Amino acid sequence: MTSSEAVVRRRWPRFVSKDGTCNYRNHHVPMYKRRYVRDFFTSLVDLRWRYSIIAFSAAFVLSWFLFGIVWYIVSLVHGDFAHVDDPDFQPCVSEMRDFTSSFLFSLETQTTIGYGSRHARDNCGFGAFLVAFQSIVGLIIDTLMIGVFLTKLARPKKRAHTLLFSDQACIANRDGKLSLMFRVADIRRSHIVEAHVRVFVVRHHRKTMEGEELYLNFEDVNVGFDKGTDRVFLITPITIVHEIDKESPFYDVSEDSLAKEDFEVVVLFEGILESSSYTLQARTSYLADEIMWGYHFDNMVTCSEYGYEVDYKKFNKTHPIPTHEYSARILDAHRSSLSLDRDVDNNRQGKTHVDRDQNGCSFAA
């Protein structure tokens, strides 16, 4: 492979990183901010923890400050500040002397700390309404914060970190068929229900017959969804196998051409968490230079007096096996020609046998 070919093959960035992060950015989206505001709950959930804490802290302080201003205006209009030292005057809020005291009263009202000497009196109807309204606003902020934090804590994004994918994939013979293989494991004891695997091949660049240039072309890779073998029972590590046949995007890939390929194998693992019923998706990918030709994964599972034991030191270990360097297309053509030759030989042998019988019968006659 020349240096120019290597540059062409490597100039496309990885679409899905090994940890499952998708490498893309959106530009010039119409009404971008408005769309995020309309779905503000998801936007809050997607924020990082530090920004979520800052956002809700700011929301609480801002609400206390704004209602403190309102309480200050109410006391100012009611004349409380002008009769602070008048024992015969009944203020709207007792012991309301300045903005600091109004802010503290707002804080006490919204957080339901409990009133002391500073409290609302029954001679101010608007004050009673304002206490109820501020309490409702505080409950809304509390509910939103608890909902966002619980969702962030319970969402299965972190659960995907306990799923392991092999660092490399392999292409080798499996049950007499050239196959693509990779390994997946779950290190937790809580099970994943309805677990299944989906695999795609991403062609970073393709030119159509009409001359149109297409980027990020996705092709399905059959890992058994027509037979149901894509659904897995992930207790011990398993090897996902894709049989390379005529429908496979790897049908023309050989050992030599693999080094020149510019594709990315994207793996999606999906399932439902047994503990929380949330849907889980874990992702990874394999570039062409991360696929080993002629290797199998080492066995990880052994049997002992305690039951089955799994050695994760062998999770990424492989061993070579005899594998042709040709593509599946060439191997299928070779098998077809051998089968055809055998059929011809059998026909010839059968015909010769019949001729001899006939000749023998004729000679005997």
Task: Tell me the angle at which helices 99-111 and 49-78 cross, rounded to the nearest 10 degrees.
Answer: 120
Close Cβ partners of 148 (under 8 Å, ≥ 6 residues apart) = 41, 44, 45, 52, 56
- State the pLDDT at residue 33: 84
| CA-wise closest residue to 244 among 321, 289, 177 | 177
- State the pLDDT at residue 339: 53
Residue that wins the pLDDT comparison between 11 and 236: 236
- State the pLDDT at residue 340: 42
pLDDT band at 338 (very low <50, low <70, confident <90, very high): low
* 5 pLDDT higher than 70: no
* 358 pLDDT higher than 60: no
* 354 pLDDT higher than 60: no
Average pLDDT on 17-27 reads 86
Question: Whole-model pTM above 0.75?
Answer: no
As a whole number of angstroms, the distance between CA 112 and CA 133 comes to 13
Please give the structure tokens belonging to residue 324.
């042709």
* 278 pLDDT higher than 80: yes
Residue 354 CB-density burial (10 A; 0-12 exposed, 13-18 middle, 19+ buried): exposed
- DSSP code at position 223: S
- State the pLDDT at residue 4: 43
pLDDT tens readout for residues 220-245: 999 987 777 778 888 889 999 999 99
pLDDT tens readout for residues 122-153: 778 888 889 899 999 999 999 999 999 998 88
- State the pLDDT at residue 232: 87
Q: Which fold has domain 158-326?
A: Immunoglobulin-like (2.60.40)
Strands 238-243 and 177-186: antiparallel
pLDDT band at 26 (very low <50, low <70, confident <90, very high): confident
pLDDT tens readout for residues 281-327: 999 999 999 999 999 999 999 988 888 899 999 999 999 999 989 88
**Which of 183-192, 316-325, 351-360 is least confident?**
351-360
- State the pLDDT at residue 286: 94
pLDDT band at 11 (very low <50, low <70, confident <90, very high): low
Average pLDDT, the chain: 83
- State the pLDDT at residue 157: 77
**HEC profile of 101-170:** HHHHHHHHHHHCCCCCCCCECCCCHHHHHHHHHHHHHHHHHHHHHHHHHHHHHHCCCCHHHHEEECCCEE
pLDDT tens readout for residues 93-123: 887 888 888 899 899 889 888 787 787 887 7
- State the pLDDT at residue 7: 40
pLDDT band at 356 (very low <50, low <70, confident <90, very high): very low
* 167 pLDDT higher than 90: yes
CATH number 3.40.50.1440 is the correct assignment for the domain at 47-154: no
- State the pLDDT at residue 89: 77
pLDDT tens readout for residues 65-90: 999 999 898 888 877 777 777 677 77
